[in-house]
Amino acid sequence: MLQDHNHKNVNDNVHYYVVGVVGVVVLDRPETLNALNYDMVWLLRDIFVCWKDDPAIGHVVICSSASRAFCAGGDIRQVREALLARNVDAADLFFQGEYLADLAIAEFGKPVIALCDGLVMGGGAGLAEHSSHIIVTETTQFAMPESSIGLFPDVGASLFLGRCPIPVARLLGMTGYVIDGASCIMLGLASAMVSCEQIEALRKALLKCETAAIDQVITSYRMDPGLPALNQHMPSINHIFGSDVSAEEMQNRAQDLYLIRPNDTFVKQVVTAFAEHCPFSIKLFCKLLKVTEGFESADQAISLDYNLALRMIRRPDFVEGVRALLVDKDKNPRWAPDQLNLVDEALLEEVFNQDGLWPLR
């Protein structure tokens, strides 16, 4: 339960308080790049649900205590530990809390300004992308890398990546490719770019301004993002990920292109991702983009993600993927199956089955 919002409230990893008409939320777990744990996601959900109906709150600023990362995602090691301890309920509740926090931001009804300096990945992208104003800097690194751990780009990613050109959405979701702030602006994944040296000044200005002046304040700090780094790779992206083909065909196209251009570092990254990331996750996201094509609300996308996530963490790939990447760090996961063409289409279809759904709320 939240305390009186007129006083500064401190959780170990989330600070929240009110300045004038402004609610302030500060993610403060710098040693893990603000990885969201169980307590953090449920507290974030409570904050936004409570402030939604508080007439004293005009807008909210959500930011990080350190410039290195806005938020690098969910604390999936904690989820893995719960699963290994056979506490599946705790793992389920983590995802429920994370998705309800995203939904509370998406349905807040008042401006939420996310100051996205540094890493913005996975669950961090969820917090940012459901905000009304997404501010990036020249240090922003945005990615949805879940296919590397046997999960999938969740937190409503089918909605926000789905607004990108389909070849780019596939690149970002299937390979976890990292893009810069200027590319986020180009793709509509961010509202404005502000110099990282000016982000603190912008934060202070947003705490002093009236809600009606938000856009004017942001504009006064806005900088020219310059050419997006992604631009130079668009011909390759369209060639590999364009048209309605299978994930296997996309992998083949990448490999063929790499044979022709062995010094192309971008194509090499794509080939490597296809070879190393979880085949089931790659194919799931490819299918997810099709299934959610007509989705318009965050509720639709996130409710589906919740059911997909609870099914995916019950597969061996998730525990194994987190082990290989974040626990033992040998980066040698043993996926089952270990190739795209071995993924059972019927099993993939079953993950999307609407029977026996878990209600998100």
Q: What is the pLDDT of residues 88-142, one digit of tens each?
A: 999 999 999 999 999 999 999 999 999 999 999 999 999 999 999 999 999 999 9
* Whether the Cβ atoms of residue 141 and residue 120 lie closer than 8 Å to each other: yes
Distance from C-alpha of 117 to C-alpha of 64, rounded to nearest angstrom: 8
Query: Which residue shows structure tokens 């296997």?
Result: 248
The confidence score (pLDDT) of residue 2 equals 57
Distance from C-alpha of 139 to C-alpha of 132, rounded to nearest angstrom: 21
Q: What is the pLDDT of residues 301-310, one digit of tens each?
A: 999 999 999 9
pLDDT band at 218 (very low <50, low <70, confident <90, very high): very high
Mean pLDDT rounded to a whole number for the chain: 95
Residues, the chain: 361
**62: its two tokens:** 């959500």
pTM of the shown model? 0.95
Question: Looking at residues 144-153, what average pLDDT do you find?
Answer: 98
Q: What is the pLDDT of residues 62-74, one digit of tens each?
A: 999 999 999 999 9
What DSSP string runs through 181-202? Answer: HHHHHHHTS-SEEB-TTTHHHH
Q: Cα(first)–Cα(last) distance of the chain, in Å? A: 18
Question: Looking at residues 236-250, what average pLDDT do you find?
Answer: 97
The confidence score (pLDDT) of residue 162 equals 94
What is the CATH number assigned to the segment(s) 1-361?
3.90.226.10
Residue 272 has pLDDT above 80, yes or no: yes
Q: What is the pLDDT of residues 12-62, one digit of tens each?
A: 899 999 999 999 999 999 999 999 999 999 999 999 999 999 999 999 999
226-232: Cβ within 8 A, 24+ apart: 226/182, 227/182, 228/179, 228/180, 228/182, 228/183, 228/185, 228/186, 229/179, 229/180, 229/182, 229/183, 230/168, 230/179, 230/180, 230/183, 230/186, 230/187, 231/183, 231/186
Question: Looking at residues 313-325, what average pLDDT do you find?
Answer: 97
Distance from C-alpha of 135 to C-alpha of 185, rounded to nearest angstrom: 9
* Whether the Cβ atoms of residue 124 and residue 72 lie closer than 8 Å to each other: yes
pLDDT band at 7 (very low <50, low <70, confident <90, very high): very low
pLDDT band at 159 (very low <50, low <70, confident <90, very high): very high
Residue 355 has pLDDT above 90, yes or no: no
The confidence score (pLDDT) of residue 177 equals 98
